[in-house]
């Protein structure tokens, strides 16, 4: 009671585009005021109604965000269903705060302060046993739902670490398991490296693979985990800003082929993601800039100036936003996940035309400029935070690449634009010459 379940639940539901079910509200809508049910029919009857409503919400085929009444976990059948069907978050609140929020309401179990505090203490053990995670904020709930935390999970003895060899030299292995080094950066995402990992791995279906490195390492190791023995559990431990705000979140894994990037892959969600900003202390400026381009993209999509936050909060805010988008559309089926491509259609075209000689972050920064201009919005943020400069590439090659982009179906180009910061729109189809002019403005004469 008074922990903020309705407020936080509603916001999590909005961000993840899932229905929101508040069991107390459903009971009131069906059976009248809760105070009346307590008074006329007793707490036992209320608990029975609550159990029914909770069951209905928990077994529904459509995943929802459910705010359970504070006493719902007193039912053992509800606790069983929570374990089987849900990711359960305990919204932690201090008893003083909870009391100040619920006193002077008509809640039947919050009429007397001593009784309220006793109930609060009695229920703590139940909450602890029923929850998967504890949370204070919306961000905590979103991050927890995708098992993202700053602390490493407990791992079985049969864990194997796949690590970027350069990161391994700088930081050593993150845990004392068997280590499989892979080449630094993008070179890891090759069929040859994947093949070697398949040959080297010695684990059963109960083994866990830990990926330690940037997005390249988590992509190849995640794909090895998706395919080895038809799929083993894996943990992503990203060591770049790109990895921590983007690549390690969302279950996309894969490798490159000679004729294109990310052409082979799978969705295979990690069972945990360890985000420890302290490993970024050794990250070169160029790699940080790549990450900042994704940070600015995220801030524009979320409508929040995340780039002004200190690193730790900035990373949490970006990771939480991406988690929400991923939870709304885990397997890229509804189009929601496509908003994460803001600016990327242009970026890919410039990267391809340069033969991948320009850094990804620079290309994304330019792509964001084009997306903002086509959205009719100011570009100051991108100019000030990312300072992109037009690149020297062949405009014809860039245009040909843009037309070939994955998102160009039936010869039409579908872009992600912004109605305003915080309100992405997808798909937007614009006349080809307008898109071509926007692309040309990113290219140096
Ligand atoms: P990266 O993994 O390619 O690493 C870049 C460089 O940084 C490498 O030289 C690496 O050795 C070095 N490095 C990594 N951590 C370091 C540290 N802590 N200190 C010093 N150096 C360090 O870089 P990235 O930008 O994280 O990943 C890019 C890859 O991620 C691309 O292949 C891209 O396709 C992929 N990606 C995947 C997703 C996804 O959803 N799966 C999303 C975005 C990007």
Token pair of 284, please? Answer: 């070169």
pTM: 0.93
Return the residue whose CA atom lies nearest to atom 37 of ligand 1. 247
Return the residue whose CA atom lies nearest to atom 17 of ligand 1. 283
**Would you call 192 exposed, middle or buried from its count of C-beta atoms within 10 A (0-12, 13-18, 19+)?**
exposed
Averages of pLDDT over each 10 residues, the chain, 445 residues: 87 96 96 92 94 96 92 92 94 81 75 79 88 93 95 85 98 91 97 98 94 98 98 98 98 94 96 97 96 98 98 98 97 94 96 94 97 98 97 96 71 90 95 94 95
What would the pLDDT profile of 112-137 be if each residue is shown by its tens digit? 788 877 878 888 899 999 999 999 99
pLDDT at 371: 98
In whole angstroms, how far apart are CA 365 and each of 284, 305, 355, 419?
Answer: 18, 16, 18, 19
Is the minimum distance from the CB of 16 to ligand 1 under 6 angstroms?
Answer: no
What would the pLDDT profile of 220-272 be if each residue is shown by its tens digit? 999 999 999 999 999 999 999 999 999 999 999 999 999 888 999 999 999 99
* Of the candidates 144, 341, 367, 377, the residue with the CA atom closest to the CA atom of residue 252: 341
∠ CA 110-114-116, nearest 5°, is: 30
pLDDT at 407: 55
- Ligand 1 atom with the smallest distance to the CA of 291 is 25
Distance from Cα 188 to the centre of ligand 1, integer Å: 10
Distance from Cα 246 to the centre of ligand 1, integer Å: 10
Mutate to test the pocket of ligand 1, among 167, 216, 318 (most ligand atoms within 8 A of CB): 216
Distance from Cα 218 to the centre of ligand 1, integer Å: 8
Query: Are 274 and 237 spatial neighbours (Cβ–Cβ below 8 Å)?
Result: yes
- Ligand 1 atom with the smallest distance to the CA of 250 is 40
Return the residue whose CA atom lies nearest to atom 23 of ligand 1. 214
Count of alpha carbons within 13 Å of 305, Cβ hemisphere only? 6
* Of the candidates 246, 247, 221, the residue with the CA atom closest to the CA atom of residue 235: 221
Return the residue whose CA atom lies nearest to atom 35 of ligand 1. 215
Task: Name residues whose C-beta falls within 8 Å of residue 267's C-beta, 6 or more positions apart in sequence.
Answer: 226, 251, 252, 253, 330, 331
**Would you call 182 exposed, middle or buried from its count of C-beta atoms within 10 A (0-12, 13-18, 19+)?**
buried
Distance from Cα 426 to the centre of ligand 1, integer Å: 27
Mutate to test the pocket of ligand 1, among 215, 220, 343 (most ligand atoms within 8 A of CB): 215
Distance from Cα 248 to the centre of ligand 1, integer Å: 10
Distance from Cα 292 to the centre of ligand 1, integer Å: 13
pLDDT at 154: 84
Main-chain dihedrals φ then ψ at residue 67, nearest 5 degrees: -95, 115
pLDDT at 71: 87
E strands in 229-355: 233-238, 252-257, 260-267, 272-274
The SS3 of residue 111 is coil
**d(C-alpha 73, C-alpha 130), whole Å:** 7
- Ligand 1 atom with the smallest distance to the CA of 282 is 19
Mutate to test the pocket of ligand 1, among 187, 212, 240 (most ligand atoms within 8 A of CB): 240
- Ligand 1 atom with the smallest distance to the CA of 185 is 3
Token pair of 251, please? Answer: 């279950």
DSSP per residue over 153-194, as a string?
A: PP--TTEEEEEEHHHHHHH--SSSSEEEEE-SGGGGSSHHHH
pLDDT at 84: 93
Distance from Cα 203 to the centre of ligand 1, integer Å: 26
Count how many residues are written for the chain. Answer: 445
Is the minimum distance from the CB of 216 to ligand 1 under 6 angstroms?
Answer: yes
Token pair of 26, please? Answer: 């459903």
DSSP letter assigned to residue 17: T
> Which position has the token pair 């983007």?
246
Distance from Cα 33 to the centre of ligand 1, integer Å: 55
pLDDT at 98: 76
């Amino acid at each position: 009671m008074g922990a903020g379940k309705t407020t936080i639940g509603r916001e999590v539901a909005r961000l993840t585009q899932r229905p929101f079910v508040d069991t107390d509200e459903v009971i009131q809508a069906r059976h009248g005021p809760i105070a009346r049910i307590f008074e006329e029919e007793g707490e036992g009857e209320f608990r029975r109604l609550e159990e029914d409503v909770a069951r209905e919400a928990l077994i529904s085929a459509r995943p929802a965000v459910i705010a359970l009444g504070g006493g719902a976990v007193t039912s053992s059948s509800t606790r069983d269903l929570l374990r089987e069907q849900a990711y359960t978050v305990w919204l932690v609140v201090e008893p003083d705060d909870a009391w100040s929020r619920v006193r002077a309401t008509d809640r039947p179990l919050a009429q007397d302060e001593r009784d309220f505090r006793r109930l609060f203490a009695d229920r703590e053990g139940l909450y602890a046993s029923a929850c998967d995670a504890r949370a204070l904020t919306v961000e905590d709930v979103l991050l927890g739902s995708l098992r993202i935390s700053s602390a490493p999970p407990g791992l079985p003895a049969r864990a194997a670490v796949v690590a970027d060899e350069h990161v391994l030299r700088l930081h050593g292995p993150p845990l004392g398991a068997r280590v499989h080094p892979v080449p630094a950066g993008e070179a890891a995402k090759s069929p040859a490296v994947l093949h070697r990992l398949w040959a080297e791995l010695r684990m059963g279906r109960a083994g866990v693979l830990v990926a330690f490195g940037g997005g390249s390492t988590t992509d190849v190791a995640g794909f090895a985990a998706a395919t080895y023995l038809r799929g083993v559990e894996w943990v992503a431990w990203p060591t770049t800003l790109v990895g921590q705000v983007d690549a390690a979140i969302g279950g996309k894994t894969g490798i490159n082929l000679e004729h294109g990037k990310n052409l082979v892959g799978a969705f295979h969600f990690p069972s945990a993601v360890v985000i420890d900003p302290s490993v970024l202390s050794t990250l070169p400026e160029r790699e940080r800039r790549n990450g900042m381009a994704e940070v600015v993209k995220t801030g524009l999509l979320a409508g929040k100036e995340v780039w002004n936050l200190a690193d730790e909060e900035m990373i949490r805010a970006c990771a939480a936003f991406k988690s929400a988008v991923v939870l709304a559309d885990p397997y890229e089926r509804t189009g929601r996940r496509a908003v994460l491509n803001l600016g990327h259609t242009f970026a890919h075209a410039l990267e391809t035309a340069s033969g991948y000689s320009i850094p990804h972050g620079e290309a994304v920064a330019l792509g964001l400029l084009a997306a903002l201009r086509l959205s009719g919005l100011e570009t100051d943020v991108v100019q000030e935070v990312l300072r992109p400069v037009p690149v020297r590439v062949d405009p014809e090659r860039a245009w040909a690449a843009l037309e070939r982009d994955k998102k160009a179906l039936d010869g039409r180009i579908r872009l992600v634009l912004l109605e305003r910061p915080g309100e992405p729109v997808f798909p937007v189809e614009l006349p080809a010459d307008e898109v071509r002019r926007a692309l040309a403005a990113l290219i140096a004469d």
